Chain A
Amino acid sequence: MKILVCISKTPDTTTKIAFTEGNTKLDENGVQWIINPYDEWYSLVKAIELKEKDASVTIHLITVGGADTEPIIRKALALGGDEAIRVNNNSNDSFIVAQEIAAIAKEGSYDLILTGKETIDYNSASIGSMLCALLDQNFISAAVKLDLNGNTLQVVREIDGGEETGELNFPAIISCQKGMAEQRIPNMRGIMAARTKPLKVVEASVTNATTHIKNFELPPAKSGVKLIDPDNMDELVRLLKEEAKVI
């Protein structure tokens, strides 16, 4: 079985977000870059778990981005991918990114493509669904569990207020979230091995963007908290009713 895991580079979850160049760019000063948590904790580790059960599984990683994404790819390889492909395209348009991934996916004829539920920077949650259309393959989004039974995949996905279990065959695209696997830390052997694992760079082939970011904005600051005497909860109820009008 061949698995393609989509990897994206995002700012660390503790990053204080600020913008520069007239609010058109993220201020990257002091930003720690990480593998998008959904890509790392859930889709990559799930792929590794499948490989641990069946040694014939190969895991390829793909990222669409500039050379600055390579430390992230090496970390992903240290966790457990076999080889990686970087498509040298800096676009942040999901449509472009999905088309680049689809081109690689077609060439590699993968059985399973795993993505994170969304990236924690643009939160588009688009790549898996776009690949579904570009490759005309089954797509399960926001999956919390994946089991393999011969050639049949059993996948549990989140639905509003519950979970739904479905069965499908390869090839398939699954977007992964919490529940899918447990976070791991790369070990020294993995880090050493990652240095020599193949990382192939492919030139960008798609450039026609369908969207572009005009500017960013930070949410307006809260006007300040109104502190209520802990012995006067009637006052809090009154404020929630009459001032905030939420109950």
Chain B
Amino acid sequence: MVLIYIDQDEQEIKKASFEAISYGATIAKQLGTTAEALLLGTVKNNLADLGKWGANKVHHVNNIVLNSFDARVNATVVAETAKSLGATVLIFAHNLNGRAIAPAVAVKLGAGIVTGACALPKTDAGFVVTKTVFSGKAFASIEISTPIKVISINQNSFGTVISDAIATVHELAVAVPSSTLKITSVHKIQGEVPLTEASLVVSGGRGLKGPEHWGVLLDLAKALGASTACSRPVSDADWRPHHEHVGQTGIQIAPNLYIAIGISGAIQHLAGVNRSKTIVVINKDGEAPFFKAADYGVVGDAFEVVPALTAAILKSKSNA
């Protein structure tokens, strides 16, 4: 049985978990077994709906203590549940909480783990999982040789498969170890899609010359409904907040569209964004290395090109 961990935040199922269910369900089909989801805590979502993304069953540990995330406690509950249900493959989203517990769960099950997978495992001979390595500069195929396998799947690398199926929901009573971690505050950036979940991203670099010039970029992002990001020099100079820094030592993202404005495309920056499906580069220097990694390029002054692009997008939206 393939068991998929459902991550939640403030009683809402995380977007990455729907993708994890579809990924796990596809593996279950490949292996001729069932796909079962595991949710800890209480959520507002209707659990039977998880069938849509491919879960045959949803196991629900309905304990309010589990609404706040404690890696040690969650990993223990997941591992105990996986053992009692006889799971042979465990799937996690490779988001922040998934990263925090998947390796601990693997240890508790004596299982081999591949984190940051980017494709379905090959299961015809052995069990081989492909993941991104060297911060997106390469892929590695890794064989897991233990009876139980654990995988965390990179966000936005598989997508979702939707049907009109309905899952059966099973309430589970599991002993929950007491937590010695006290969450004292949560601070959310208001009104923005988290970068790791964004499908459209507009990003700026030093070419924009200063924080006071960010308006053209913000207008474009608003017209597209995109999230905003920046290069490392920009966040280091405090032109933009640190949480917007994408790159090798910042956030690694894989949106459908990444628009880079005034970013030269240093190898460290590319490592954070080269899994984007489509890359548009706007730079006045036609020799900028980023053009080699781009799908579409515009050689021109950002302060002219970007407002023109914004206008073209608004025009196309009003015609639609």
How many pairs of A and B residues are in contact by the CB < 8 Å rule? 272
Contacts of A141 in B (CB 8 A): 71, 96, 99-100
Instruction: Determine whether the beta carbon of A98 is less than 8 Å from that of B181.
Output: no
Instruction: Determine whether the beta carbon of A160 is less than 8 Å from that of B137.
Output: no
Instruction: Determine whether the beta carbon of A226 is less than 8 Å from that of B295.
Output: yes
Q: Which parts of A64-99 form the interface with B (CB within 8 Å)?
A: 94-95, 98
Give Cα A130–Cα B111 distance, bound, in whole angstroms.
11
Give Cα A164–Cα B186 distance, bound, in whole angstroms.
4
Task: Bits for A103-136, please: 1 = Cβ < 8 Å to B, else 0.
Answer: 0000000000000000011111111111011101
Q: Does B273 contact A (CB under 8 A)?
A: no
Q: Does A225 contact B (CB under 8 A)?
A: yes
Q: Which parts of B88-109 form the interface with A (CB within 8 Å)?
A: 95-97, 99-108
Instruction: Determine whether the beta carbon of A163 is less than 8 Å from that of B187.
Output: yes
Dominant secondary structure at the B interface = mixed
Q: Which parts of A224-247 form the interface with B (CB within 8 Å)?
A: 225-228, 230-231, 233-234, 236-241, 244, 246-247
Give Cα A93–Cα B287 distance, bound, in whole angstroms.
41
Instruction: Determine whether the beta carbon of B142 is less than 8 Å from that of A214.
Output: yes
Give Cα A95–Cα B111 distance, bound, in whole angstroms.
9
Question: Which of under 10, 10 to 19, 20 to 34, or 35 or more describes the interface residues of B?
Answer: 35 or more
Q: Name the residue on A nearest B95 (C-beta).
A: A160
Instruction: Determine whether the beta carbon of B133 is less than 8 Å from that of A216.
Output: yes
Q: How many residues of A contact B (CB 8 A)?
A: 79
Q: Does B166 contact A (CB under 8 A)?
A: no
Give Cα A230–Cα B139 distance, bound, in whole angstroms.
35
Q: Does B172 contact A (CB under 8 A)?
A: no
Instruction: Determine whether the beta carbon of B249 is less than 8 Å from that of A247.
Output: no
Q: Which parts of B271-320 form the interface with A (CB within 8 Å)?
A: 271, 274, 277-278, 280-281, 291-301, 304-305, 308-309, 311-313, 315-316
Given A123-B116, A210-B113, A236-B296, does the pair A247, B188 have CB atoms closer than 8 Å? no
Taking the closest CB of chain B, its distance from the CB of A55, in whole angstroms, is 28
Give Cα A138–Cα B112 distance, bound, in whole angstroms.
22
| 15 sample A-B contacts, Cβ–Cβ < 8 Å, listed by A number | A125-B116, A134-B107, A142-B99, A162-B187, A164-B69, A166-B184, A168-B180, A210-B111, A214-B128, A216-B139, A216-B140, A217-B138, A236-B280, A244-B277, A244-B296
